Amino acid sequence: MNSKRLLALAEMIDLNDVVLDVGCDHGYLSIYLKQNKLCQEVYASDVNINALNMAKENIKKAKVKIKTFLSDGFNNIDVYFDTAVIAGMGSHTILKILNSEKSPSKLIICSNNAHEFLRKNLNIMGYKIIEEKVIYENKHYYIIMKWIKGKQKLTKTELKYGISYNKDYFRYLINKNKELLKKVPITQKIKLYSEIHKLKGLIEKK
Ligand SMILES: C[S@@+](CC[C@H](N)C(=O)[O-])C[C@H]1O[C@@H](n2cnc3c(N)ncnc32)[C@H](O)[C@@H]1O
Tell me whether residue 173 is in a domain. yes
Same domain, 51 and 126: yes
Whether residue 10 contacts residue 29, with contact meaning beta carbons closer than 8 Å, is answered with yes
Q: For residue 2, what pLDDT is reported?
A: 87
133, 153, 173 - which closes a domain: 153
What CATH number is attached to the domain comprising 143?
3.40.50.150
Domain extent, residue 51, equals 4-153
Q: For residue 206, what pLDDT is reported?
A: 60
Same domain, 182 and 140: no
Residues 51-61, buried b or exposed e (16+ Cβ, 10 A)? bbebbbebbee
* Residues flanking ligand 1, CB < 6 Å: 22-25, 45-48, 51, 72-73, 87-89, 93, 97
Same domain, 176 and 116: no
DSSP per-residue string spanning 53-117 = HHHHHHHHHTT---EEEE-STTTT--S--SEEEEEEE-HHHHHHHHSSTT--SEEEEEESS-HHH
Same domain, 83 and 21: yes
Which residue is closest in CA terms to ligand 1's atom 27? Answer: 25
Indicate the number of domains in the chain. Answer: 2
Q: Name the pTM for this structure.
A: 0.96
Gap between the Cα atoms of 142 and 3, Å rounded: 12
Give the position, in ligand 1's atom list, of the atom nearest the Cα of 72: 20
Instruction: Report helix angle 91-98 to 115-124, nearest 10.
Output: 10
Tell me whether residue 158 is in a domain. no
Which residue is closest in CA terms to ligand 1's atom 12? Answer: 23
Rama region for 121: left / alpha / beta (φ>0; ψ in -120 to 50; rest): alpha
Same domain, 94 and 62: yes
If one residue of 21, 30, 33, 47 were mutated to test the ligand 1 pocket, choosing by the most ligand atoms within 8 A of its CB, it would be 47
- Cα 60-62-66 angle, rounded to 5 deg: 60
Backbone φ and ψ of 71, nearest 5°: -155, 140
Gap between the Cα atoms of 147 and 193, Å rounded: 31
At 137, is the secondary structure helix, strand, or coil? strand
153, 174, 192 - which closes a domain: 153
pLDDT tens for each residue of the chain, 206 residues long = 889 999 999 999 999 999 999 999 999 999 999 999 999 999 999 999 999 999 999 999 999 999 999 999 999 999 999 999 999 999 999 999 999 999 999 999 999 999 999 999 999 999 999 999 999 999 999 999 999 999 999 999 999 999 999 999 999 999 999 999 999 999 999 999 999 999 999 999 86
Radius of gyration over every alpha carbon of the chain, rounded to an integer in angstroms: 18
Gap between the Cα atoms of 49 and 63, Å rounded: 21
